[in-house]
Amino acid sequence: MQKTIIAALVGAIILFLWQFLSWAALDLHRVEMSYTAAQGPIMEAIEAANLETGTYSLPNHPDDATAAEKQAHNATMEGKPWALISYHKAFENNMAMSMIRSFLINFLSAFLLCWLLGKMANLNLQTTIMASLAVGLIGYLTIDYLYYIYMGGNTLPVLIDTIVSWGLVGAWLGWYLNRGKG
């Protein structure tokens, strides 16, 4: 168990460091959060609408719309502009808590990968790297990419994150978990 905890802890540090590089130092995710000079009037209009904190797809039909109303709404929207808005009533910059939560998620993810790898017979460096990449790609394909199939956007930064971070974790685990084997 100690070996698994050490493996997961270092894996979490690798994930955490890559996330810092990706989001802060390399700024790969800038394309996901573009600037607009029209942000002032847009924010004023959103504030005037008195929205609750949440994510909105605009325009959209009411929750209680019938199937026919939904179909009619979709037909009128064809070729027209639309937007996704993640709205928060107040900006809160609690970086410390965000970083703690991020690290804990990274640790849990690396620990679960170690558990899966521990169930494999004939584990070696190549299998460990490929399994790690497979886990990362499964997450990317079924969460991020699937979301963007419907909502649009650029998933290249997330794909780069997936391949680099899980490839590095796989290389670490492949070396560490296989040390001393015949």
Mind giving me the DSSP string for 60-107? ---TT--HHHHHHHHHHHTTS--EEEEE-SS----HHHHHHHHHHHHH
Domain ranges of the chain: 2-33+94-177
Q: Which two tokens stand for residue 162?
A: 């997936």
Q: What is the reported pTM?
A: 0.80
pLDDT at residue 149 in the model: 84
Per-residue pLDDT of 97-128, as tens digits, reads 989 999 999 999 999 999 999 999 889 999 99
pLDDT digits (tens, 9 = 90+) for 54-104: 988 888 888 899 999 888 888 888 889 988 888 888 888 888 998 999 999
Could you write out the DSSP letters of every residue in 97-153?
HHHHHHHHHHHHHHHHHHHHHHT-TT--HHHHHHHHHHHHHHHIIIIIIHHHHHH--
Identify the pLDDT of residue 61: 87
pLDDT at residue 182, as a whole number? 55
Question: How would residue 180 be classed by pLDDT, with cut points 50, 70 and 90?
Answer: low
Q: In this structure, are residues 151 and 95 in contact, taking their beta carbons and an 8 Å threshold?
A: no
Stretch (H or E) spanning 21: none
Amino acid identity for residue 72 in this structure? A
Q: Tokens representing 55? A: 């994510």
